[in-house]
Amino acid sequence: MSRPVRHPSALNPVIVGMRSGSDELPALERALELATQRHTHLVVVHVIPATSGFAIAVPTAAGAVALTREELADRCHLDCQLALAGADLDWSFEIRAGDAATALADAAHRHRAACVVVGRHDHKTSIGRFRCTAIRLAETSDRPVLVVPLRDTRAAAFDQPHHDS
């Protein structure tokens, strides 16, 4: 009995950089699609800043709640579990500390990733673009980088049929 032969590059996982929150889901969905097409493993990488005393305000229905690094990582892991619950795919979750672009490039190199998938965020200033994880990752990674745009409500509204009264 012979086994189906996969191309050797199919053994290389797809890496996706994730923060907690629904704005990251398009990147996760695209990474899932790529990993499924390639019949390979998906590695979700959550990077926490290496600074001490880090906390961030996360919006909730009752307002904003300050979360620590560990709580953000737990929330991101839970978001991934929910998003990937029905996926017929092996996946893992890694937490790394430090600069996001550096940590993702390192994870991609160590896993010999097929590619790295990250979300694109709008930056209102040139300083924001200079610090952009996606741009810095594309400049430093030895693996291909796919930058996935956020869901845009303006684009969704553009696709809806227009009705004149």
Q: What is the DSSP letter of 98?
A: S
Q: What's the CA angle centered on 31, arms 124 and 100, to 5 degrees? A: 50
Taking the C-alpha atoms of residue 21 and residue 56, their distance in angstroms, rounded to an integer, is 12
The verdict on residue 157 lying in a domain is no
The verdict on residue 162 lying in a domain is no
The CATH number for 144's domain is: 3.40.50.620
The verdict on residue 159 lying in a domain is no
pLDDT value at residue 35: 95
pLDDT value at residue 52: 55
pLDDT value at residue 24: 80
Please say if the pLDDT value at position 143 is more than 60.
Answer: yes
| Tens digits of residue pLDDT in 1-40 | 554 555 555 679 999 999 876 678 899 999 999 999 999 9
The verdict on residue 39 lying in a domain is yes
**Beta strands 63-68 and 14-17, pairing class:** unpaired
The verdict on residue 92 lying in a domain is yes
The verdict on residue 69 lying in a domain is yes
pTM for this predicted structure: 0.75
Q: Quick one: CA torsion of 50, 51, 53, 55, rounded to 10 degrees? A: -70
The verdict on residue 158 lying in a domain is no
User: What's the structural domain count of the chain?
Assistant: 1
Average pLDDT, the chain: 79
The verdict on residue 165 lying in a domain is no
Range of the domain at 145: 10-150
